[in-house]
Amino acid sequence: MKDERLVTPFDQDRIANCSYELSMGPQALLTGEDQIRRDLANDEQLRIPSGHFAQLMTEEKVRIPPDALGLISMKSQVKRLGLVNVSGFHVDPGFHGRLRFSVYNAGPSSVYISRGTPTFLIWFTALDTPTDDLYEGHGGRPAFTDQDTMEMQGDVFTPQVLADRMATIERKIGWRIQLGSYLAGTIVGAIITLLFQALT
């Protein structure tokens, strides 16, 4: 593998178990929110509600040379909370830029991640020979675009979201059901009383 900077900015202390720890970056996209795109200040916390999808951007930029491949995952501390990586699991040769992770919160509670927190992992593996089949996409963009934001719009119909909506509906109509039951009982009682008086 050529001697070139694979991660920028680089921190020697982020190397662990043959992987490099990448941190939560400056932007995120969230489903089911009025403000879909979030710009995060240093150390600002992002909340990913249970049952929602998000796209997370790394703070660091990575460069995959033609004779290498990147393998990516998330740290176990966030996976244990229920955050699942639903994007790809590798980075193509020729890629350069910030990585974007599409995630789903399958856990029972919200997951909180602050900008700058080590959250993702990348391993660099060497290829036998350099490849000419290099990455030609747009994943290395420095920020989420308007198109990215529009694609995250719309309702999210996950079990957790549906359960939350049912609870809200029950709270809204609960008093109406109780009032209706009371009125129905009162009317039935009045009719029975009138019938009893008419028969006696």
CA pair distance 121, 151, nearest whole angstrom: 26
pTM: 0.74
Torsion of CA 119, 17, 95, 117, to 10 degrees: 20
Looking at the domain 7-151, which fold is it? Deoxyuridine 5'-Triphosphate Nucleotidohydrolase; Chain A (2.70.40)
- Residue keyed to tokens 């795109």: 37
pLDDT score of 51: 87
pLDDT score of 1: 47
pLDDT score of 152: 80
pLDDT score of 3: 47
Task: Please report, in tens digits, the pLDDT of each residue of the chain (200 residues total).
Answer: 444 689 999 999 999 889 999 999 999 999 877 789 999 999 999 999 988 899 999 999 999 999 999 999 999 999 999 999 998 899 999 999 999 999 999 998 999 999 999 999 999 999 999 999 898 876 677 788 888 888 887 766 666 666 676 677 777 776 666 666 766 777 766 776 767 666 66
User: What are the distances in angstroms from CA 171 to CA 97, 118, 174, 178, 196?
Assistant: 47, 40, 5, 11, 38
116, 42 in Cβ contact below 8 A? yes
pLDDT score of 162: 64
The shares of helix, strand and coil residues in the chain, as percent rounded to the nearest 5, are: 25, 35, 40
pLDDT score of 171: 72
pLDDT score of 179: 62
For the chain, domain boundaries: 7-151, 157-200
